[in-house]
Chains A and B, each alone.
Chain A
Amino acid sequence: MIEGAALGARGTLGLAWRLARRELRGGFAGLRIVIACLALGVAAIAAVGTLRAATEAGLAEDASRLLGGDLEIRSTYQPLPPEGRAWIAARGGRLSEVVQMRAMAIGPSGERSLVELKAVDGAYPLYGALVLDPPVPQGGLMPGGLMPGGLMMDRSIVERLGLKPGDEVRIGEARFPLRAVIVTEPDKVATPAIFGPRAMIPLADVERTALIQPGSMVAYEYRVALPAGADARGFAAALRTQPFADGGWRIRVADQAAPSVTRFVDQAASFLVLAGLTALLVGGIGVATGVRAWLEARARTIATLRCLGAPANLIFATYFAQVMVLAAIGIGIGLVAGYALTWAAASALAGALPVPPRLGLYPWPLALAAIYGLLTALAFSLWPLGRARDIPGAALFRTGLAAPTVRPRLSLVAANAAAALALVGLVVATADRPMFAAWFCLGALATLGMFRLGASLLMAAARAMPRLRMPSVRLGLANLHRPGAPTPIMLVALGIGLTTLAAVAMIEGNLRRQIAESLPEAAPSFYFIDIQADQAEAFDATARALPGVTEVERVPSLRARIVAVDGVPVEQMVVSPETAWALRGDRGLTYTAKMPEGTRLVAGAWWPEEYAGPPLVSFDAGLAAGWGLQLGGTITVNVLGRDIELKVASLRDVAWRSLGINFTLVASPGLLSSAPHTNIATVRNAPGQDTAVLRALTDAFPNISGIRVRDALEAVASLLGRLGTALSSTAAVTLLAGMLVLAGAVAAGQARRVRDAVVLKTVGALRSQIRAAYLVEFGVLGLASGLLAAVAGTIAAWGVVRFVMHADWVFLPGTLASVVGLCLLLTLGFGYVGTSLALRARPAPLLRNE
């Protein structure tokens, strides 16, 4: 007899490692699904993370170029006073002045378009280069490359107006010969041309256009290049304290060049990461089933080892080591693939990204993706591993199906729960919007539970079916509930992939609909801006007299910057994240004595028509709630450099989506009516009259610009479309993961399917009958998961549209039907392939005695 000493912990690990290696030497075909599932999910997350890091690095590195200077002072309506220029120059700052406004550009043919006009001085650009086509010839030019009297425009508008170099374009009251096409505008990210293409003229020529009139919507931007080593923030802080400084100024330093872009990148990335996590979740199911099947195939080996005296911990350590080795391989492949994908995505998205991403190795997003992968592997493999640990040696002597259901021991259940919790914790902690991420995790869990429950119900229903006359249908339905049937795994894997797809499709569909379909009845045809007070009456009369015009509405329009609420400066305010936007930049402000039609007051009352007291304001109820602002509170706004305190008299529900004239702030007349300001008008006209209306009004009033609502919405729609494409492709990764798991489940059952098909053929079943039985099985499975995915996807999309995007919800049956249809096609496709392969098997070799 051999005396054995108890194995120490180190001995166990060493032996487990040797056993694990010995077994993996024989190949790990059964665990390839584990590798593939982890690789796919990790790749998606690594790619999104790297792309985000690269984009942000691109933004940071080029910050000065993007902003146009180390520092920018932006003022609406009023230029920088001479003291300001002197102050900056005295501190070694180089100044460049840019004036921006919207204007109409009218070609020689009379064809016209709204442009974002930018008048730049000779110092422009302080950083980077303005690239023009044709390139500017040497000599006789201003330092910035702009010729006096010349006009530069984006290629899109040059083409739309059918212009050749030298053609004269009218802007406001002035005419400019077209000198060149703008190829690259270095500071485009920080000052994007939103409503129309860019047009550029020298600053010296801006006066000729006569576009700058009292109250016109003009932004003055002063970019400052600081001497090397100067502290931009300190400079900005000192500037703010100067007596000439204006409360209405917005001062940005280079590292905040594009806060809105950064915000957009952060939010888009965090949505994409969640979509990637869904892929990983589906992959996790693949891991669980792959590991389970692998261990089931090794049940005899495990029982044999147990008979030979292997302790349970050794068994656990052996198989844990195997799974972890393969998980590491999967994660490694995922990281490499994800990194490679970043490059592919960067080139595919070249036009859509705000800056060219600075591709490089960013360790943090890769590490995060690896941790996600590892936690997923742990969370989904510990349970089956724990069960294998407790397979008794006696199992060797049992035959057949009746595998004992072993529950893993408590410590392993606890470890499994800890891994799952850590996964959730990591998702929430690294999310841009933790609350949303928490809801996402809860939703994912609920969806998982729903599909598992759905599978149980489907199996119970199949079991309860009365015996059907058609043998193929009976057999197909019976296959759904047979012992060891893969119904739950198939339903869950396919279902979650499709739920993501359904949700994304519905969200996208809702956004598109909101833009495209709510338009015809609700929206006006045009906004006209910069209508001077002395033009107002004439504008109304001219517009109303035009054929096809059905409605003209006009209100005074001022731009105001909110500087304090209830006496608290905005920098010190604590507001809800959804309402923070309203504190950045300018807000629209109008005044009126009468309550506008369709106003929905939720609190307070409108002022009397003849009211002449201190200024009152009716404010957006949603913003007020987010800021903790009550009736009777005060909002201090800066209008044209002057601070005005407005008392909140009422709160309104603002229906932004009506696309009519909406203002955050509606004030009582009086004080504000005396401030220089312009008017804004909406014009509604018969379809097909757009061109004529725009032409007539902008010919009559050269300083007035018309914005075609449809054009503006199309610009927004195309932006959303790009985001939608990114989301859809990430959802597609989830579906791909689902298909992988489905394929894995089909493949795992393939040996059984082949054997069954052979036996059925032997006892006289026709191929068509066998195929029909499998198609019934897969068809019902596909239909069930498609329908469940439709329900879950609808709920998820509804939640996102209503509570994250704060938009109206529309149910889109067509979109859902295509998701269910896709599901059915997928499962039938997989089923058909699996069955055809099974039917092709020759019976004799399988039937011979073993």
Chain B
Amino acid sequence: MTDSTPPLIDARDLSFTVGTAGGPVNILRGVSLTIRPGESVGIVGPSGSGKTTLLMLLAGLERATGGALRVAGLDLGALDEDALARFRRDRLGIVFQAFHLIPTMTALENVAVPLEFAGRRDAFDRAAAALQSVGLGHRLDHYPGQLSGGEQQRVALARAIVGEPQLILADEPTGNLDRGNGTAVMDLLFGLQRDSGTTLLLITHDAALAARCARQIRIEDGRIASDSAVLAEAA
């Protein structure tokens, strides 16, 4: 990989401010960041430092109040709500700490839904294959409530990868899991990332987990406090 490849994520001076009763609160204060295709990036930082907000901005689930953000060549600030949904559908996979599966849909339906909305005829076949690849081939017709936490997160993982996205965003994916299940899910995530060459952005406050990523970025108080890539360049 060379510097000439266009970056997958290109953030310039991103800021995010919310108005509260006690006056405006600056959650992100000028974050600039470039991530190239195929990179695996761990984002660490204390609670409230702005990690999750950064992920929301990258996913187009929140809009930055300042700065510029291009993801996969698209200027997210210029897209309307439906265009952002299409962007997520076609280029993005997201894994949340709380899984965010639809409780009234079976595992198979949960995974197939994004492909269905994309009009893919093979949605259910591909969803079954994705579940198979996370080791849940025998749980297709189970509802989330009938699955363990680890299994639910694997369904979420299958949903994130089923559309072969360019970018996977993961927000504390093991936060709700015990150590054994957490390790299994992460092994799976890194394995999939490695096999497909997808870009991975992992938010965690587990330093050991972050260390498994090729690059680590530390956020503190809404700013990038350190970036291993920058450090390496400087070295």
- Residue positions of A touching B, CB distance < 8 A: 399-402, 467, 469, 471, 474-475, 478-479, 482-485, 752, 755-756, 759-769, 842-844, 847-850
Q: Are A765 and B85 in contact (CB under 8 A)?
A: yes
Looking at B52, B59, B94, B113, the one whose CB has the most chain A CB atoms below 10 A away is B113
Cα-based distance from A766 to B61 in the complex (angstroms): 13
- Do the beta carbons of B146 and A849 come within 8 Å of each other? no
Q: What's the Cα separation between A683 and B96 when bound, in Å?
A: 87
3 closest A-B pairs by CB: A764-B89, A400-B145, A401-B145
Check if A764 sits within 8 Å of B85, measured CB to CB. Answer: yes
Nearest to A843 among chain B residues (CB) is B61
Asked if A767 contacts B62 (CB within 8 A), the reply is no
Distance to closest chain A CB from B5 (angstroms): 25
- Nearest chain B residue, comparing its CB with the CB of A468: B116
Contacting residues of chain B (103-126) with chain A, CB-CB under 8 angstroms: 103-105, 109, 113-114, 116-119, 121, 123-124
| Cβ of A302 to closest chain B Cβ, rounded Å | 19
A399 vs B104: C-alpha distance when bound (angstroms) = 14
Contact across chains for B101 and A759 when beta carbons are under 8 A apart: yes
- Is B154's beta carbon under 8 Å from chain A? no
CB–CB B61/A762 < 8 A: yes
Instruction: Give the interface size class of chain B.
Output: 35 or more
Q: How far is the CA of A756 from the CA of B105 in the complex (A)?
A: 10
Chain B residues proximal to chain A, CB less than 8 Å: 52, 56, 59, 61-62, 81-82, 85-86, 88-90, 92, 94, 96-98, 100-105, 109, 113-114, 116-119, 121, 123-124, 143-147, 159, 163, 171-172, 175
Tell me, in angstroms, the Cα distance from A849 to B52 when the chains sit together: 9
Most central of B98, B102, B118 by chain A CB within 10 Å:
B102
Bound complex: CA of A469 vs CA of B118, how far in Å? 11
In the bound complex, residues from chain A placing their C-beta under 8 Å from that of B147 are 400
Given contacts A400-B145, A765-B85, A766-B117, contact A760 B62 (CB under 8 A): no
Q: Which residue of A lies closest to B203 (CB)?
A: A849
Contact B103 A765 (CB under 8 A): no
Pair B86/A764 contact, Cβ less than 8 Å: yes
Count contacts between A and B, CB distance < 8 Å.
104
Provide the residues of chain A in CB contact with B89, threshold 8 Å. Answer: 763-765
- Most chain B beta carbons < 10 A, residue from A484, A756, A763: A763
The answer, among A471, A767, A844, for a CB contact under 8 Å with B56, is A844
B100 to chain A, nearest CB (A): 5
CA distance A499 to B97 in the complex (A): 48
Residues of A within 8 A of B103 (CB): 400-401, 752
Which residues of A are found within 8 Å of B143, using beta-carbon distances? 400-401, 483
Q: How many Å lie between the Cα of A399 and that of B121 in the bound state?
A: 34
Besides the contacts A471-B119, A763-B89, what 8 more A-B pairs have beta carbons closer than 8 Å? A399-B145, A471-B113, A762-B59, A763-B94, A764-B163, A847-B56, A847-B61, A848-B56
Cα-based distance from A401 to B101 in the complex (angstroms): 13
Given contacts A402-B146, A467-B124, A849-B172, contact A764 B62 (CB under 8 A): no
Q: Look across to chain B and name the residue whose beta carbon is closest to the beta carbon of A769.
A: B117
A401 near B82 with CB under 8 A, answer no
Instruction: State the CA gap A475–B113 with chains docked (Å).
Output: 9
Asked whether, in the complex, the Cβ of B82 is within 8 Å of the Cβ of A768, the reply is: yes
- Beta-carbon nearest neighbor of B86 in chain A: A764
Residues in B with CB closer than 8 Å to A848 are 52, 56
Chain B residues in 8 Å Cβ range of A842 = 62
Neighbouring A residues of B145 by C-beta, 8 Å: 399-402, 483
CB distance from B82 to the nearest CB of A (A): 5
Interface pair B146/A471, CB less than 8 Å apart:
no
List the A side residues contacting B116 at CB < 8 Å.
471, 474-475
Q: Give the Cβ gap from B105 to chain A, nearest Cβ, in Å.
A: 7
Query: Is A482 a contact partner of B117 (Cβ separation < 8 A)?
Result: no
Some 15 contacts from A to B, beta carbons below 8 A apart, are: A401-B146, A402-B146, A467-B124, A471-B117, A483-B104, A755-B102, A759-B100, A761-B85, A763-B117, A765-B89, A844-B62, A847-B56, A847-B96, A849-B97, A849-B171
